[in-house]
Amino acid sequence: MKEHTRSFNGFIHSLIESLPYGIMVLDHDDRIQELNRNFSFIFNINIADVKGKNYKEVIESKFVQVFSNLIEDTKVKGFVMDRQISVPILGGVEITIALSSSALKDKDNNFYGLTIICREMTATRELERMRELDKLKSDFISSVSHDLKTPLTSIIGYTDILMQLAKEKSLSEESDYLKIIMQEAMRFARMIDDIINMAKIESGKLQLKKELVSLKEIVEEVIKIVIVQAEKFKFIVNFDNSIPLLLIDKAQMKRVFLNLVSNAIKYSPQGGEIRIDGYTKGDNVYVDVIDHGIGMSEEALSHMFEKFYRVESDATKGITGTGLGLAITKGIVEAHGGTIVVRSKLGEGSTFSVIFPLTMKKSI
């Protein structure tokens, strides 16, 4: 029997020691019955012979008021949940601690002590703060990007005027340079749009205006846009009739396929065939964008959809971009409830598959 009690107490003691919380147990006269190592770490207490002492003799004076309030409230209400306090630890760093306490009562409802549990909140708080910072960052990026558009309006506008004047005066060299300025300014404008879109996606501000749309039509419109600057390419669009109209944000989805088709063109410097196949398989609609360009290594494949990631190799030398296209593409596809996957082989080409569940054809 005695043996039994000892081993049970030992079990409780080791349980209290191994919990990831600070724990202190007091009797009805506020004397310490248990105080685990975590508690002593948090409040900087020397754990040797604290047992039986009043907690006020043990705890640093600046915390005494906090604990006495906690204990009084616990005696009145029976328990206290998550009362937050800041505790300085080494190096001036503060951590946030949530104190919870509950009264111990016997079967006749007589108070005979209480337990106090301290939980470290810093990790949770840190996460909240990081979220706040992230939102601030997105708002900041978005507002700066908007501001950049005003000077860009002047640059593009006045370059346009100069181009017209140069043409009237038949200044061919000047015209050539102005054309380059114009192209680069337009590229800058697209980069700003990419950054704004990325910020919107990251802050969850991308609002989709869904309507029933034909994916095939979207792809055909995209081809119409790119074909004027892609003489070296042959485009083949092949869609099964089984594909239903889907609930999609048309403008955003156009951006998705514009990105994929532009990449297919950009990363196939030799030109060639670009196929876009649409079909249904199982419960999903697939649209594959297939090129026979430079392809990607395993390493590149694992990073492709990360923002700002770009492959740097001999094959990609001289090809410009922001590395945001695919991150945006993925964000838009996922916001629609779809997924995007890629298969590729270095030197042989790439296939990007955009996959939507067939359930997207009806509103839920």
Partner 1 sequence: MEEDKNLKSLINFLVVEDDEAVRQLIVRRLRMEDFSGSIYEASDGQEALKIFSEQEIDIIICDWRIPLLNGIDFVNRVRSTYNSSKVAIIMMSAETEMDKIELALNYGVDDYLTKPFTTQDFREKLKKAIEKIKGR
Q: Name the site residues for partner 1 (rule: CB under 8 A).
A: 146-147, 149-158, 160-161, 164, 185, 189, 193, 196, 207, 209, 251
Question: CB under 5 to 8 A by kind: which of partner 1, Mg ion, ligand ADP, none does 294 bind?
Answer: ligand ADP
CB of 221 to Mg ion, least distance (A): 18
Task: Kindly state whether residue 263 participates in binding Mg ion, applying the rule CB under 5 A.
Answer: yes
Question: CB under 5 to 8 A by kind: which of partner 1, ligand ADP, Mg ion, none does 296 bind?
Answer: ligand ADP
Phi, psi of 242 (to 5 degrees): -75, -10
**Strands 246-249 vs 272-281: parallel, antiparallel or unpaired:** unpaired
State how far the Cα of 153 lies from the Cα of 130, in Å rounded to an integer. Answer: 35
Closer to partner 1 by CB, 114 or 324: give it: 324
Closer to partner 1 by CB, 249 or 291: give it: 249
Cβ contact 145:188 at 8 Å: no
- Applying CB under 6 A, the residues found at the interface with ligand ADP are 259, 263-264, 267, 291, 293-296, 304, 309-311, 316, 321-327, 350
CB of 125 to partner 1, least distance (A): 33
Maximum distance among all alpha carbons in the chain? 111
Buried b (16+ CB within 10 A) or exposed e, 252-266: bbbbbbbbbbbbbbb
State how far the Cα of 80 lies from the Cα of 356, in Å rounded to an integer. Answer: 49
Residue nearest to ligand ADP (CB): 321
Residue 39: closest CA among 25, 53, 56: 25
Task: Kindly state whether residue 350 participates in binding Mg ion, applying the rule CB under 5 A.
Answer: no
Task: Kindly state whether residue 344 participates in binding Mg ion, applying the rule CB under 5 A.
Answer: no
CB of 216 to partner 1, least distance (A): 23
Closer to partner 1 by CB, 196 or 360: give it: 196
How many residues touch Mg ion under the rule CB under 5 A: the total is: 3
- Looking up tokens 């601690």 gives 97
Closer to partner 1 by CB, 142 or 329: give it: 142
CB of 256 to ligand ADP, least distance (A): 11
CB of 19 to partner 1, least distance (A): 50
Question: CB under 5 to 8 A by kind: which of ligand ADP, Mg ion, partner 1, none does 112 bind?
Answer: none
CA dihedral angle for residue 177, residue 180, residue 186, residue 191, rounded to 10 degrees: -130
What is the residue-wise DSSP string for 116-168? EEEEE-HHHHHHHHHHHHHHHHHHHHHHHHHHHHHHHHHHHHHHHHHHHHHHH
**Quick one: which of 22, 293, 295, 325 contacts Mg ion (CB under 5 A)?**
325
Closer to partner 1 by CB, 8 or 158: give it: 158
Closer to ligand ADP by CB, 41 or 308: give it: 308
State how far the Cα of 27 lies from the Cα of 30, in Å rounded to an integer. Answer: 5
Residue 63: closest CA among 91, 37, 86: 86
Residues 182 to 221: which contact Mg ion by CB under 5 A?
none
Cβ contact 228:262 at 8 Å: no
Q: Which long-range contacts link 43-48 to residues 24+ away (Cβ below 8 Å)?
A: 43/87
Closer to ligand ADP by CB, 169 or 345: give it: 345
Closer to ligand ADP by CB, 168 or 298: give it: 298
- Looking up tokens 């955003």 gives 252
Applying CB under 5 A, the span of 41-49, 93-101, 163-171, 261-269 interacting with Mg ion comes to 261-269
Question: CB under 5 to 8 A by kind: which of Mg ion, partner 1, ligand ADP, none does 264 bind?
Answer: ligand ADP
Question: CB under 5 to 8 A by kind: which of Mg ion, ligand ADP, partner 1, none does 158 bind?
Answer: partner 1
Write the secondary structure of 10-47 as one string of H (helix), E (strand) and C (coil). Answer: HHHHHHHHHCCCEEEEEECCCEEEEECHHHHHHCCCCC
Residues 6 or more apart whose CB falls under 8 angstroms from that of 224 comprise: none
Phi, psi of 176 (to 5 degrees): -60, -45
Applying CB under 5 A, the span of 125-133, 184-192, 320-328, 352-360 interacting with Mg ion comes to 320-328
Binding site for Mg ion (CB under 5 A): 263, 321, 325
